[in-house]
Structure 1
Amino acid sequence: MHPLQRALIEKAGHDNGFEYVLPGNAEHAALASARHPARVRVAVVEQGYEVGIDTGSATLAQEVARTFAANQMDATTFVLPSEALLAHWLRRAAALSQALPNQAVRAFEQQVQAELAELAPDAAHNTEVLRMVRQRVGQQAYRQAMLDYWGGACAVTGLALAPVLRASHAKPWAVCDSDAERLDVFNGMLLAAHLDALFDQFLLSFDEHGRVLISPQLDAAACEVLGLRPTMQMCWMAPEHQPYLSYHRQRFMAGH
């Protein structure tokens, strides 16, 4: 790898979520970030750029592969034929690394502590104030994680208009057993506002394949107005979604 190639790779990393260059060797550039745990190595090959995932979430590679399946060489390695595609890959990997489980919880705890530190001591130790701060910060963190995970688009319709997208919980916030469940990016999906309202009221759910389930309370006229079709489905479903959607389906089937 000559100096210009290395400089181009390092700039692509800096501009797309991997701002740190780690000690490497002459064959590859090692990239990392202070904002997420993923570390990758990029080498120049005849076909373009070979990118390998060294560390990060256990599910990072399989989630990146949803977008870059045609470029995947093995479980953790991708070959990208252009600088533009390399930048896209790095940007997607960085976004996913900030969204996948545990990372959102860590960011949430840091933000809560930062906000509490700005309050008067008596307020910071008030149980109700603490509850409100944790809920507000948690909902913001969850929404950002969902935007990152779903690429800023509705998981069903593909609508990419952030102001009308909602971070939907399959297992509601109030009944989650822990902050890890509340902030788990697999506990729900990013939905257009009208789908979120139906999902939240258990009038719409999804089967184990991600296909839409429509409540019998919604007649044909309502479905037409809402744009609901029985052929609608999630653009993908990870195995980690299944326990949460199973909980939601049970509530859906029970009618509440």
Structure 2
Amino acid sequence: MHYREPKLTLIGAGPGDPDLLTIKGAKVLADADVVLYDALVNPIVLEHAQFAEKIFVGKRKGCYTYQQDQINELIVSRAHSHGHVVRLKGGDPFIFGRGAEEMEYAAKFGVEVAMVPGISSSSSVPALQNIPVTKRGASESFWVIAGTTKEHKLSRDVKLAAQSTATIVILMGMGKLGEIVSLFKREGKSDTTVAIIQNGSRKDERIGVGNISTIEDIVAKRQLSNPAIIIIGEVVEHREIINELKHSHREAIV
């Protein structure tokens, strides 16, 4: 093996559909000596790293293959022994990932660091269901919130967001859905439209649409669970508008 300078590149794999990996991400994967990848990464993406050692370091249902400290140490040790380490994460590594921490740790040990952004599920998953996170006349901004904090509590930002007119996108919030619903009800928003999208952009994607008052029943009926994204706001209605227009157009043709 030819010696290569130790390097870490963070790559965002996108929301799940392997076609949503960026071209730059695919090129950098092809150059990798080692790939450390997470649970939400579609295995097909790993085919771009044909000659690399591939190590699964993700978690499934709370079961950790590696603790974060171990991942940090693995990045540094493999970078010094093998050369180019790619840390492959779902979505974008800088949005509710620990990519920034891993980058800082590696840099302390003389590892060159780089970043290739990924398509975030926070905007792309709603978009693929014809839900824009902003729309003129409906929403001038959007909040992206991690529903559950590291203390396993509901983020306080959800309460602030519920008081705004913005579109609210909540990741990692399904375990707190009851609390989220209660917050929005207290703000007088029982009729606000909600969509919950599970396995967004994947072949097994599932969706439930309702409002604050009905969404818990819809989730139970459709058995929706993590990984899922919660979208709250008037923009969700755009999906139904598009569906109705498609239906009307078909009827007109017939």
* TM-score bin, normalised by smaller chain: under 0.3
Larger relative contact order (Cα-Cα within 8 Å, sequence gap ≥ 6): 2
| TM-score, normalisation: structure 2 | 0.27
Q: TM-score, normalised by structure 1?
A: 0.27
Q: Hey, which of these two has a bigger chunk of helix by percent?
A: 1
